[in-house]
Amino acid sequence: MEENKYYTPEFTPGKTFNDLTVIKGVGKHRWGGNIYLCSCVCGKTTNVRATDLRTGNTKSCGCLMIRRIKEINTTHGHCPSSAPSKLYSTYKKMVDRCHNPNTQFYNYYGGRGIKVCDAWKASFELFVKDMGTPPSIKHSIDRIDCNGDYEPKNCRWATYLEQSLNKTNTLKASFLGVVKPLREWADIVNIPYRTLKARLYYKWTDEDILTTPIICRGGGNTRTVDLLQKEFNRSELRRILKMINV
């Protein structure tokens, strides 16, 4: 038969590629390569280039995209064909920046080895079940450990301000095992942020940074740090941490 000249071991009749099954060869594409008439699982037929079958660039007659949209919309209602919900957009962007090298911010996430846990990557529904919905439009997804993965134990809904205190370059200090950004400690211990930052720069210990009273200067003399005051500050800080349940 005439169409037999288009057959190769890779594209014989009956060979299946995704949702398409080769029926016969029908000609040459104007840019080169054979064209095959294929039947789709939906019952329709379509002409497909050999290259598109081989690479998976064409997986169906076009019905696969429609089926996927219907499936998503039927399953969770967050992705109608017109406009996905904010929650679904958050989920999609999270997966893309960790697993799609072609996205804008991949180098800062997937490029650093950060990934979405297998359960969330496979199921938007599980992501919603674990995370719930954002408390407000001001909240977005945030990783508690900014070097860790997107997974239930490491994610929360946080405001922009909360996330700004949780970046990789945020200055932090710890006391009694409690780690907080330096700006939060400044409010707790009532010492200016710039003072705490300077102490950190000069490599003070975290305890000294947070408990040493500010040295007063006056009349050309510097008052030495009162050790009793410093000990009081330690006790007071312990009491405050206990009150805020950390």
Sequential pLDDT tens for the chain (246 residues): 444 666 778 888 889 998 899 998 888 877 778 899 999 988 899 999 998 998 888 989 988 887 776 666 555 556 544 567 888 889 999 999 999 988 888 988 999 999 999 999 988 889 999 999 999 888 889 898 888 999 999 999 988 777 766 666 667 777 777 777 777 788 888 888 888 888 888 888 888 888 887 765 544 444 444 444 555 566 766 666 666 554
pLDDT of residue 23: 92
**pLDDT score at 38:** 93
**Residues 209, 181 contacting (CB under 8 angstroms):** no
**H helix intervals, the chain:** 50-55, 63-76, 86-99, 118-122, 124-131, 160-164, 182-189, 193-201, 206-211, 227-243
| Model pLDDT, residue 245 | 53
**Exposed e or buried b for every residue in 9-24, given b needs 16+ CB within 10 A?**
eebeeebebebbbbeb
pLDDT at residue 156, rounded to an integer:
92
The predicted pLDDT at position 10 comes to 83
pLDDT of the residue at 230: 56
| Model pLDDT, residue 5 | 65
Instruction: State the residue for tokens 């929360």.
Output: 156
pTM assigned to the model: 0.44
